[in-house]
Amino acid sequence: MTKFFLLLSILFVHSTSYAQAKTENLIIITFDGLRWQELFGGADSVLIRDKSFTDDTAEMLKRFWASSPDERRKKLLPFIWTTMAAQGQLRGNRHYGSKMNVKNLYRVSYPGYNEIFTGYPDTLITGNDKKHNKNVTVLEYLNNQSALKGKVAIFTSWDVFDFIFNEKGSGLPVSAGIDAVKINTSGFALLNEMQANCFQPFGEGIRPDLLTYNLAKEYLKVKKPKLLYIGFDDTDDWAHNGKYDYYLQSAYLTDRYIADLWNTLQAMPEYKGKTTLILTTDHGRGDKVKKDWTSHGKKIEGADEIWIGFLGKGATARGEVKEKEQLFQAQIAQTIAYFLGYTFAASHPIENKIEINK
9 falls within a domain: no
Amino acid code (one letter) for 183: I
Q: What was the pLDDT predicted at 288?
A: 77
Average pLDDT over residues 69-97: 98
Q: Give residue 199's domain range.
A: 24-339
Are 23 and 340 in contact by the 8 Å Cβ rule? The answer is yes
Coil, strand or helix: which one is 47? Answer: helix
For residue 350, being part of any structural domain is answered with no
The count of structural domains within the chain is 1
Residue 232 lies in a domain: yes
- Which pLDDT tens digit goes with each residue over 296-328? 999 999 999 999 999 999 999 999 999 999 999
CA distance 298 to 222: 42
Q: Is residue 210 part of a domain?
A: yes
Question: Using an 8 Å Cβ cutoff, are 97 and 278 in contact?
Answer: no
Other beta carbons less than 10 A from residue 38's beta carbon: 23
> In whole angstroms, what is the distance from residue 334 CA to residue 105 CA?
20
With a cut of 70, say whether residue 34 has pLDDT above it. Answer: yes
What would the mean pLDDT of 198-213 be, rounded to a whole number? 92
Task: Report pLDDT for 11.
Answer: 39
CB 98 within 8 A of CB 309: no
- Is 70 exceeded by the pLDDT of residue 14? no
- Ranges of beta strands (E only) in the chain are 25-31, 89-91, 98-101, 152-156, 174-176, 227-232, 275-280, 308-312, 319-320, 325-328
- Specify the CATH number for the domain of residue 300: 3.40.720.10
Domain assignment of residue 67, yes or no = yes
Query: Collapsing DSSP states into helix, strand and coil, what is residue 356?
Result: coil
Q: Is 177 left (phi over 0), alpha (psi -120 to 50) or beta?
A: left
What pLDDT sits at residue 118?
98
Residue 13 within a domain: no
The mean of the pLDDT values for the chain is 94
Q: Would the pLDDT of 97 be above 70?
A: yes
pLDDT higher than threshold 60 for residue 153: yes
78 assigned to some structural domain = yes
Rg (the chain; Cα; Å) = 20
Q: Which amino acid is at 254?
A: T
**% the chain with pLDDT above 90:** 90
End-to-end CA distance of the chain: 43
Where does the pLDDT of residue 205 fall: very low under 50, low under 70, confident under 90, or very high at 90 and above?
confident
> Is residue 18 one of the residues assigned to a domain?
no
Query: Does position 9 have pLDDT exceeding 90, yes or no?
Result: no
